[in-house]
Amino acid sequence: MQKDIDSKLNAKNIKPTAMRQLVLQVLTKQSTAISLPELENKFEKADKATLYRTLKTFEKNKLIHSIDDGTGSIKYALCKDSCECHPDDLHVHFLCTHCNQTYCLNDISVPNINLPSSFSLESVNMVVKGICSVCSK
Amino acid sequence: MQKDIDSKLNAKNIKPTAMRQLVLQVLTKQSTAISLPELENKFEKADKATLYRTLKTFEKNKLIHSIDDGTGSIKYALCKDSCECHPDDLHVHFLCTHCNQTYCLNDISVPNINLPSSFSLESVNMVVKGICSVCSK
DNA sequence: ATAATCTTTGCAACCCAGTTGCATGAACTT
DNA sequence: AAGTTCATGCAACTGGGTTGCAAAGATTAT
Ligand SMILES: [Mn+2]
Ligand SMILES: [Mn+2]
Ligand SMILES: [Zn+2]
Ligand SMILES: [Zn+2]
């Protein structure tokens, strides 16, 4: 729904340009995280830099979050409505070594870690690798 | 000790060439993980490709392990003697956002995760970001 | 409405870590 | 000594990410 798209953009204070609407549409359809190169391929003809800056804008305004799954390209996924990208919102990600898809395990929050003394914690990146439910059939 | 260097290489079935001795020396002196570009800088004049292949050999033979801390360059650190790079040997890594150093927290093993059904686990990458003990003084 | 200003877009160029091909050189085998 | 295997050095390339800059579009002030 175009309405939903625009209101989501508005809710995060992002001006709803044509490009941004299209990108958000792709992200919404997506059930797994997507990288910039993958996003490029979803369009017949689109400029990498524009898509790049669109993703950066989305990320800055907390519409999406980025995931470094170690594959060499950063992936992006929609934040939950409730998400503020605070430490509390951190969840585990899963990379399937078979299909290369990256899943947000939104229900699995990153476990607490007791750091050595005088180490302070800012954020945690936790990526589990294995075989996803689709590929394990 | 040159003796130690060679015996370590031998123990992992790596032929002790001059280059490999030098690289292992650097790695041994190092208290934090080091990247390929950083390793390059430790030498007056050394070929990137050779260093690259040296690291790959070391990693394949489980003398070192690699760490993707999200900074854009893979870092490498010596394995503990006991390490076989099995899931059991997995430990947490710490990236200081101030000095950009990456630490092996060898004593902190990666916590267990209960994956959704029909997801299977192969390995886990867990990187904690924050301020290290040196920088928090 | 027009002009001035700010934002977004498209294109090209660049950066940099990582990687590969290939030829030379060193070290073992026969 | 000749042949084979392995290691090294150099150069070239890849691919994701990033930036400069000018044109186009949208917003605001006059
Ligand atoms: Mn996620
Ligand atoms: Mn480590
Ligand atoms: Zn899969
Ligand atoms: Zn530090």
Mutate to test the interface with A, among B67, B108, B128, B131 (most CBs of A within 10 A): B128
Which nucleotide shows the minimum CA-to-C1' distance to residue B46?
Answer: D9
Q: Regarding beta strands B120-131 and B64-67, do their DSSP bridges make them parallel or antiparallel, or are they unpaired? A: unpaired
Structure-token pair, residue B130: 């924050």
Contact A115 B136 (CB under 8 A): no
Q: What is the distance in angstroms between the Cα of B130 and the nearest Cα belonging to chain A?
A: 4
- The 3-state DSSP composition of chain B as helix, strand, coil percent (nearest 5) reads 30, 25, 40
B34, B76 contact by CB (below 8 A): yes
Is A129–B125 a contact, with Cβ atoms under 8 angstroms apart? yes
Radius of gyration for the alpha carbons in chain A, expressed in angstroms and rounded: 16
Question: What is the CA A49 to C1' C6 distance in angstroms?
Answer: 20
CB-based contact A122 B115, cutoff 8 Å:
no
Contacts of B135 (CB under 8 A, 6+ apart): B96, B98, B99
Q: How far is A128 from chain B (nearest CA, A)?
A: 4
Q: What is the pLDDT of residue A48?
A: 97
Q: What is the DSSP letter of A77?
A: E
**Given pLDDT bands bounded at 50, 70 and 90, which one contains residue B137?**
confident
Smallest Cβ–Cβ distance between A118 and the set B105, B120, B133 belongs to B133
**What's the one-letter identity of residue B71?**
T
Structural domains of chain B ordered from first start: 2-130 (1.10.10.10)
pLDDT single digits (tens) B72-127? 999 999 998 887 777 667 899 999 999 999 999 999 999 999 999 999 999 999 99
- Tell me the C-alpha distance between A126 and B88, whole Å: 16
The residue whose two tokens read 């919102």 is A89
Q: Which of B66, B73, B115 to mutate to test the interface with A (most CBs of A within 10 A)?
A: B115
Residue B131 CA: which ligand is closest?
4
If you measure from the C-alpha of residue A57 to the centroid of ligand 1, how many angstroms do you get, rounded to a whole number? Answer: 17
How far, in Å, is the CA of A57 from the C1' of nucleotide C4?
A: 26
* Residue-level pLDDT, tens digit, chain A, 137 residues: 677 899 999 999 999 999 999 999 999 999 999 999 999 999 988 999 999 999 999 999 999 999 999 999 999 999 988 777 776 678 999 999 999 999 999 999 999 999 999 999 999 999 999 999 999 97
**Entry pTM:** 0.91
Residue B87 pLDDT: 65
The contact set of B with A (CB < 8 A) is 68, 70, 92, 94, 97, 105, 107-108, 111, 113-133, 136-137
Average of pLDDT values for B63-78? 96
Q: What is the mean pLDDT of chain B?
A: 93
Half-sphere exposure of B55 (CA within 13 A, CB side): 22
For the stretch B42-56, pLDDT in tens is 998 899 999 999 999
CA of A137 to the centre of ligand 4 (A): 45
